[in-house]
Amino acid sequence: MASELKPETTFDESFAKLDIRVGRIVEVDQETGTPKPTYKMTVDFGKYGRKISYGRFTCHPIEEVRGRLVLGVLNFPPRDMGPVTSEVLILGVQYPKAESGEATFVSPAVAAKIGSKLF
């Protein structure tokens, strides 16, 4: 059974405060220092720079991850993940039938411009 929805909010109180932009993963490696299997990804956000993100997208082969367009939240503070720090949150959803926390990407359906804002 689905859990309850969160309380209603307005666009200005929530979504408008997030800076979510399109980036391209230009480098990806398996990270060995985190508690669970994780990828270290360098994501190019165009004029907003390159950011490092660590994420549990490891159900995807590295060759499939490199070059992928993704959506990232640029205005969250860096987050420690064990001995590493993730500079940007790459958006994902639960990978089907994978262990809890293992994700698949939320990505544009077409080749969107790097740095484009989600609206």
**55-87 tens-digit pLDDT:** 999 999 999 999 999 999 999 999 998 899 999
Angle, CA 89 vertex, CA 56 and CA 92 arms, to 5°: 50
Eight-state DSSP code of residue 109: S
Using one digit for the tens of pLDDT, what is the confidence trace for 8-42?
999 999 889 999 999 999 999 999 888 889 999 99
Instruction: Tell me: pLDDT of 97 over 50.
Output: yes
Neighbours of 16 (CB within 10 A): 10
20 or 1, greater pLDDT: 20
Query: What pTM was estimated for this model as a whole?
Result: 0.91
Domain 16-105 has CATH 3.50.50.60: no
